[in-house]
Chain A
Amino acid sequence: MKLPILWLRDYLDANDRQLAEAIADACARWELNPSHDPAHTLGTLFTFAGFNCDGVAGSGWNAVLELDVLSNRPDCLCVLGLAREAAAFLKLPTLAPAFQIAESGADASTWAQMTVEDAKTCPRYTARVIRGVKVGPSPQWLQDRLKAMGLTPRNNIVDITNFILFELNHPLHAFDLNKLAGKRIVVRRAKDKEPFKPLYDELPPLTPETLVIADGEKPVAIGGIIGGAGSEVSPATTDILLEAACFDPASIRRSCRRLKAGTDSSYRFERGVDILGVERASARAARLIAELAGGTIAKGSLDSNPHPAPLKELSLRHERLNALYGVNVAPQETSALLAALGCAILRETAAELTVLPPTWRRHDLAREVDLIEEVARLHGYNHVPAVTSMSARIPPRSPAEAAIDRVREHFSALGYFECTTDSLIDPKAPMPAVWTGEPPLALNKQSVLREDHSSLRNCLLVSLLNTQRLNQDRRTGIVRLFECGKVFLPKAGQARPEERQVLGLLDETGFAALADAVRRLHEALSLDGAHLKLVPPEPGYTPAFLAPESACRVVRVREMPGDERAEDAIGWLGIASAALCKAFDLKRAPAVAEIHLATLATLPSGPRRYVPLPTQPENARDVALVVDESVAWQEIERFTEKYKNLEPLRDKREATRFLSVFRGKQLGAGKKSVAFSVVYRAADRSLTDEEVNTAHRRFVDELLKTFNAALRA
């Protein structure tokens, strides 16, 4: 909203010196630094009154301020509204515009008729008739004011309606009465595709959702938005029908969307104009028309709703004000501030104040807290002390929060970069069925801004592959990524999907590194009695997004009392399938994984129990076992761990240590050598070599028998 200071001063009762002093006083009161230029200082004051000053054009009393008027203050979309604010914070008296008119001759209803068919969309419609006007250019002062607002002056009548719009926040429309068929106004819905030519631009065809102002035959304006060509005031016009009305904000907004139109007028009706201010606006315009264009104002006006709902009284408790605001404001100051805004002070007691809000604020001054805000705002937020005596407790991290923190630390420590990708994805991208085979949830068509951001992802993999591709194109180096994010999985019969917190991983350095990092997650999470393992899926259950030979289920293993274990599949790991790599045009097939994070957060985790360190030295023995390729390491490990419990000299706390796997010609086809090490130790004495060797030989014999293996030569 532009605010020309010259225009503002029409309503402030202060000469230059008084205004400058008031500005300086207000600055001091609000503890603000004045600028060298009073216009800039005034802009700052408006900012701290809640109307952010975005810019100042010019300087001194000729400057124009650019102010943000927030959506709750439509009454300040006009110069008079902002003048009331200025008067309140500058503590200056206001000068009200003149509304008195001299009516004469026959009643308005003699000259024109009016019907409102849709009172919901048009809660009030009034029309005045002014006859015998002389259309011509406006006087200089009026032209100057409109130009300061960025408007081009047209003729005295149109300029006056525009002037009222900017003075009182009330859009008006003047019709040439003699061009209205039947000298009638009918406020009604448009007929489908009913012809209408706006004053300027083109509009899409009308529909019955649009409210029009029609004459006896056809639409002559779109209510609250734009006038039509043909009925407008022209140099030949002598008689005028002056519309002052109120329209339902939501309907105006919908019509503007539909018609892709927006005017100064619709902007104001969308935000709400004062239904009780209609007569004032109409009278003010009529007065100016009679003054500047001559003519006589017919008696009274046509009014569809002469008695809108009256205003309600409001009370403000001083104690409540001080408790919320945190500053003690003197009761006299409170009532002075509210009075300056136009509130009528009805009653005052020691405890509270009762007021009647001004008509233009019936919507935003409706509760006690609304008055509290007004007093606080104009008293000055800078007076709020920055103190708190609130007691605090230190809330612990939730298991989920702690788990995600640790997962992030783990992977970044292992050289993975965390990425954060958009949850809105392109539904046309190939969609790996990690969690669901269904297509991703789509946004409503109307909500879609871009097709490539029109669906909610149901896996992280698609985002990670996109990120790999971007980095491949930009040649940024080896890509190793992880993301902790939500995926959205449709739930049958429910409007809202399941939001699953998952961990996505992508590693160009290959399967082994990623598999190892995932297996070691239990270390990072300090899991007790639980760990992760990777298991090839059952035949026939390999997902299409992974290369078949590499696909693994990520399995969470929980040790239960006794020998029991609970195993749950919580994700996938493997090399991205060739088809997926081709679809994303990837040069390197990455190792990828996606894991349900919440299932990790629920596991029993740290602090881990301390196990006293052994006092005796360890006796480690290595084994290099030549076995068939078909024998998995896990089988050997399971055997040696089980055997541990049978061998008294084995240290039960020391796990079997994997060393390496070797394949080569010497071993023969289909064979591999698996090397590992086991630890012998007694709790209370040093073992002799002989004891250990004997025990180890027994163990190795069992191993060789069990796996039909040989020791590596």
Chain B
Amino acid sequence: MSLQDDIAQTRAEALAAFDAAGGKGDAAALEAARIKYIGANGLVKAFMKRLGEVPKDQKPAVGQALNALKDELTNAHDAAKSRLGAAAPKSVSAFDVTEPLPPERQPALGKLHPLTRTVNELRDLLRALGFEVVEGPEVEDERHNFDDLNIPPDHPSRDSFDTFFLSKDALLRSQTSTVQVRMMETRKPPLRVIAPGRVYRPDIIDATHHSTFHQVEGLCVDMGVSMADLKGTLQLFVEGLFGEGTRIRFRPSFFPFTEPSAEMDCSCPACSGIGCNVCKQTGWVELGGCGMVDPAVFEAINHARGDKAYDPEVWSGFAFGFWIERLAMRRHGITDIRRFLENDLRFLRQI
């Protein structure tokens, strides 16, 4: 038989085979037909090799016919295959959603530390409320850590048992409130800043205490600022943090550098205030301390500045502080504070 005849016959067979396989939804038959006719060693390829048999003057035409055949059969195969796809779902495919990528091909994935993520979240919310992020030193002097925060000279927290001292006038700050003092010393009111940072207290390290931990301190000084502004600001903050409808409440408390002082609670984000294990059935969780800046602090700042920039008759302000570890522990259900500074990779991957 001449090549031309073979081509014609094969064309008919192939079209029938593709169509049949497509109609029956028989993927295996379709694949076998593809290999037989248009595969790398298929019949069409074999015809190409036989072009030499064809008289020279007919070669271009036969060549073109072969190309056309290849295109036609490829289209027919693809058409059959798409019918196949519609008729029956693939059983094995390159798009398996359940099979994980082999470890060596998985791109490495790092993470920020849970404390960083918690601080970042607070920071972003408070920035939206107009608070600028500032920093202060971790090694402080007595004036910034105690004196100017209205902590009396004989207060127990000044003992070397309650504060880490390096020398007589160098200590590790026991609260980020020191940054309040440093900011007011260098800037004039109005002022709205937050100071996230590391603080130190000589506590015995156990599941709920550490000698190194983190706080975020906030300070706002302006004219006519009241406790209502404090509560309003914190209300906006907790709604941003835990969602709309979160409520805030104050309980009277005592801090040397604020008066009036309060503990702030918010309605339990886990149960919306109904009562659950997170809030020990009270419906409320503790957030931190807050209050109105004590006029004695303003006076100490004025004294340090040598002016009357923070006249307590003109300016008032509020301050608040959060314990970062406590927030992160509650959020993630972490029961051991030591995990934060230990950096077990299993913990860092998990949280």
Could you list which residues of chain A lie within 8 angstroms of chain B, going by C-beta atoms?
47-50, 52, 70-73, 249-250, 253, 257, 270, 323-327, 367, 369-370, 372-373, 376-377, 381-382, 384-395, 397-398, 400-401, 405, 408, 411-424, 441-444, 446-447, 449-450, 453, 456, 467, 470-471, 474, 476-477, 479-482, 486, 488, 495-497, 499
With both chains docked as a complex, state the minimum distance between the C-beta of B189 and any C-beta of chain A, in angstroms.
13
Whether B228 sits at the interface, judged by CB under 8 Å, is: yes
Q: Are A480 and B253 in contact (CB under 8 A)?
A: no
Residue on A nearest B152 in the bound complex, by CB: A250
Could you list which residues of chain B lie within 8 angstroms of chain A, going by C-beta atoms?
107-113, 115-116, 120, 127-133, 135, 137-141, 154, 156, 159-161, 163-170, 172, 192, 198, 200, 202-205, 211-212, 220, 222, 224-236, 248-254, 259-263, 292, 294-296, 316, 340-346, 348-349
With both chains docked as a complex, state the minimum distance between the C-beta of B264 and any C-beta of chain A, in angstroms.
10
With both chains docked as a complex, state the minimum distance between the C-beta of A493 and any C-beta of chain B, in angstroms.
13
B127 proximity list for chain A (CB < 8 A): 394-395, 397
- Picked from B229, B316, B341, the residue with its CB within 8 Å of the CB of A422 is B341
A477 proximity list for chain B (CB < 8 A): 345
**A424 CA to B236 CA, complexed, in Å:** 36
The 8 A-B residue pairs whose C-beta atoms are closest, nearest first, are A415-B108, A326-B228, A388-B232, A392-B130, A50-B252, A326-B226, A395-B132, A250-B154
- Picked from A70, A400, A446, A471, the residue with its CB within 8 Å of the CB of B165 is A446
Q: Are B140 and A496 in contact (CB under 8 A)?
A: yes
Known A417-B349, A470-B343, A496-B140; further 5 A-B contacts with Cβ < 8 A: A52-B251, A249-B154, A397-B127, A414-B108, A471-B345
Q: Are B231 and A395 in contact (CB under 8 A)?
A: no
A400 proximity list for chain B (CB < 8 A): 135
**A401 CA to B170 CA, complexed, in Å:** 26
**A412 CA to B251 CA, complexed, in Å:** 41
Given contacts A369-B295, A390-B220, A420-B116, contact A415 B109 (CB under 8 A): yes
**A474 CA to B169 CA, complexed, in Å:** 41
A391 proximity list for chain B (CB < 8 A): 130
**A400 CA to B236 CA, complexed, in Å:** 27
8 cross-chain CB contacts under 8 A: A326-B226, A369-B294, A377-B252, A384-B250, A386-B234, A417-B110, A419-B348, A496-B139
Given contacts A417-B348, A447-B202, contact A325 B170 (CB under 8 A): no
**A389 CA to B222 CA, complexed, in Å:** 12
Q: Are A381 and B344 in contact (CB under 8 A)?
A: no
Q: Are A47 and B231 in contact (CB under 8 A)?
A: no
Q: Are B170 and A495 in contact (CB under 8 A)?
A: yes
- Picked from B115, B168, B231, the residue with its CB within 8 Å of the CB of A386 is B231
With both chains docked as a complex, state the minimum distance between the C-beta of A644 and any C-beta of chain B, in angstroms.
34
State the majority secondary structure of interface residues on B. mixed
B131 proximity list for chain A (CB < 8 A): 395
Q: Are B133 and A70 in contact (CB under 8 A)?
A: no
**A444 CA to B131 CA, complexed, in Å:** 36
B109 proximity list for chain A (CB < 8 A): 415
B236 proximity list for chain A (CB < 8 A): 388
Q: Are B164 and A447 in contact (CB under 8 A)?
A: yes
Q: Are A419 and B343 in contact (CB under 8 A)?
A: yes
A370 proximity list for chain B (CB < 8 A): 259
Residue on B nearest A364 in the bound complex, by CB: B254
**A533 CA to B176 CA, complexed, in Å:** 37
A70 proximity list for chain B (CB < 8 A): 253-254
With both chains docked as a complex, state the minimum distance between the C-beta of B1 and any C-beta of chain A, in angstroms.
48
**A376 CA to B291 CA, complexed, in Å:** 12
Q: Are B160 and A412 in contact (CB under 8 A)?
A: no
B168 proximity list for chain A (CB < 8 A): 495
With both chains docked as a complex, state the minimum distance between the C-beta of B346 and any C-beta of chain A, in angstroms.
5
Q: Are A71 and B254 in contact (CB under 8 A)?
A: yes
**A390 CA to B127 CA, complexed, in Å:** 14
Q: Are A398 and B133 in contact (CB under 8 A)?
A: yes
- Picked from B108, B160, B296, B346, the residue with its CB within 8 Å of the CB of A447 is B160
**A412 CA to B250 CA, complexed, in Å:** 39
